Structure 1
């Protein structure tokens, strides 16, 4: 299990770097290519759409190829795509490469996540939070690397760094494959041939469980799209509204992702102590407050401080919500994980594209308020998920309330 968590941490570090690299170099990239922010958003959208396809195909590919071949193949896709980015081909080619990179990310993240959740049992919150720390660490490092490379006018090599780390990750997973993965991951695998297996074929489960998963799916779409929109356009907001240099504005991402990394060190323990639902509602509420204050204030110093606060609030949402949803649908770990991550990738494709268009059309001030609205919406959806979960628990306790 220790080897699995360590390799999972490395994979998530690579994903964290890879998913944030475009945002870290967005400002010089759009200027170098002579395109608009909406076009940069199209690159992000293409990458996330590729990730969506990868995530949706992951359960089927897992059955066809097996765990090891699928994961190593996905890492190879990431390696080739990131090194191709480094060559700075024409913009049309960049847009064509993006789905390939996304396909690799889209398979790697849910597959590794399902490995961890399926193997960790009651410690899933803590294990996933530790792995998510490394996603945050990658996202934290990338703005520093991007700022340094922007300063020396070599920003293209940010993509090269992700490519090299993808190669290292590929080799380590190939040579140190965890033996724990050579057995079935969860109850669904263990009971695939049992009599009750057909009852589990519904993608969204059955009965009250279905509403928990539907609301969780909406939450993941909003959360990932919201997080990626903020991470990709925070530097541009600071450049437009506060007159910061490209390199200095990029460092604002470090405040956000630094807080994300710190928060993830404790998120699992807090969720176990408070309960997953209480944790998620509290953190969504805190994030909504931070983004409303960003909309109202907007100064450079305030944006740095509030970005740090937002990072702390959002740090454990992804991992804790993933565990919460899986516990609501026992025996469906791989399917549930892939479905929720697919919804997240759909949001990650659509919302950053829309945010880039909104920034082009209405400017930085209006975009800050748009992000605040998304934060409040995320809180409302999590409240609906909590209500659905409570209803599902009551239904289990009293399955036939009309009986005498």
Structure 2
């Protein structure tokens, strides 16, 4: 199981790289293809649309082909579209690349995430570690882009990703096939009854599903678009020199925050932690347009990253535990809603940025964060799920 978890960390690292790939290349794409920032929103849309398809197809593929073949297919999907870029560099093909990378990343994240949540002891801590590696990938890639762009053309970055995926596929096939081929989705025979954990869940099943979906949609609308458009935001504030550094600063804060969450997760009250994080986020996002000075911008971006760090993994753990008998489906639903939010909200954010004012953009972000806090408060009323219930389930896994 340890080797499988290590592969999970590797896959989440790749997903983190793919997550910020298009956003990090925006300045180069603007110049090379002579496009405007709102036109590049189309690439973000295709990336998250592909991610959505990958997320939704994951439970179906896992049930039919099990974990190993599903994860292998995700890597191959990314390899194929990047391989095509060796021969076609047209603007239209970038949309194909964005979709293919998104699809493969969606398969990897959902498949490995649902496996860790359902099969691992201390799943909240383990899932936070996976999210740390996601953050490391998202943090390191903009720094790599910033360095390599001094010596090479921007498309060599995509060639580098292609080579890394080839290496990953070889290692995965040689070491992972023997361990993962025998693993199939669990059948919940050892799962404890949900009735004492979620007394009012059955009566509010549809409401819970809608709240989970809306939460993931709005959260991704904030996190992914803030990360992808951060370089554009810095350009609009006349801080072009820190456009790449700001993205790395954001993801560095998320990595640090998720390490902290993974280490101390069981000392928190999950509901209070998530709701307080959401409402603090409202204040920070609302105040962002009034910040002045390079140092202050980086400081506020870092604090936003710290605050937002634990919201996604802890909420996903709660959602999965509330609907314990459908972990694969709930994980897929949560991440699918997140990818849909990342795709659709990108158009709204790119439009708001075209107005050359940050007030509307961050007004949208802060409004979304406020709704997140309200959703968590509502979910807490519907379900009586608590930290003790999490620990009870984790102890059952060791039986």
TM range (shorter): 0.7 to 0.9
Alpha-carbon distance, 1:90 to partner: 1.4
In structure 1, distance between residues paired with 2:270 and 2:256: 19
Give the match's secondary structure for 1:242.
Answer: coil
What is the aligned partner in structure 2 of residue 54 from structure 1?
Answer: 54
Aligned 8 A contact 2:63 2:184 in 1: no
Go from structure 1 to structure 2 and tell me whether the alpha carbon gap of 1:272 and 1:146 turns closer, same or farther (over 3 Å shift). same
Q: Distance in 2 between matches of 1:72 and 1:391?
A: 36
Q: 1:289 aligns to what?
A: 283
**Measured at CA, do residues 317 and 69 of structure 1 come closer, stay the same or move farther in structure 2, by a change above 3 Å?**
same
Matched, 1:307 2:306: no
Aligned to 1:387: 381
* TM-score w.r.t. length of structure 2: 0.88
Which position in structure 1 is the counterpart of 2:148? 149
Q: Point out where structure 1 has 5 or more consecutive residues left out of the alignment.
A: 197-204, 394-404
User: In the aligned structure 1, how far is the partner of 2:17 from the partner of 2:336?
Assistant: 19
Q: Is the 8 A contact 2:239 2:294 kept in 1?
A: no
Within 1, Cα distance between the matches of 2:286 and 2:82? Answer: 36
Contact 2:20 2:138 in 1 (8 A): yes
CA offsets per residue over residues 36-77 of structure 1, 9 Å max, x none? 212111101111111111211111122222221111011111
Asked if 2 retains the 8 angstrom alpha-carbon contact of 1:12 and 1:132, the reply is yes
**Structure 1 residue matching 2:229: 3-state secondary structure:** helix
Change in CA separation of 1:344 and 1:86 when aligned onto 2, cut-off 3 Å: farther
Q: For 1:263 and 1:85, how far apart are their aligned partners in 2?
A: 36
Distance in structure 2 (CA, Å) of the matches to 1:147 and 1:254: 10
CA change 1:360–1:66 in 2 (3 A) is: same
The equivalent residue for 2:15 is 15
Partner of 1:231: 227
CA distance in 2, matches of 1:348, 1:85: 24
Would the aligned equivalents of 1:86 and 1:159 in 2 still touch at CA under 8 Å?
no
Matched with 1:213 is: 209
SS of residue in 1 equivalent to 2:111: helix
Q: Aligned residue for 2:353?
A: 359
Deviation at 1:107, TM superposition (A): 1.0
Cα offset for 1:104?
0.8
Q: Which residue of 2 aligns with 1:396?
A: none
Q: 1:384 to 1:88 in 2, by over 3 A?
A: farther
Gaps of 5+ in 2: 194-200, 388-399
Taking structure 1 as the reference length, what is the TM-score of the superposition? 0.87
Alignment partner, residue 111 of structure 1:
111
Task: Confirm whether residue 162 of structure 1 aligns to residue 166 of structure 2.
Answer: no
Question: What's 1:257 paired with?
Answer: 251
Please report the RMSD computed on the Cα atoms of aligned residues, expressed in angstroms.
Answer: 2.4
Q: Quote the Cα distance in structure 2 between the aligned partners of 1:124 and 1:191.
A: 16
Counterpart-to-counterpart distance in 1, 2:268 and 2:85: 44
Q: 1:209 to 1:328 in 2, by over 3 A?
A: farther
Name the structure 2 match of 1:398: none
Q: Which residues of 2 match residues 63-142 of structure 1 at below 5 A? A: 63-85=63-85, 89-121=89-121, 123-142=122-141
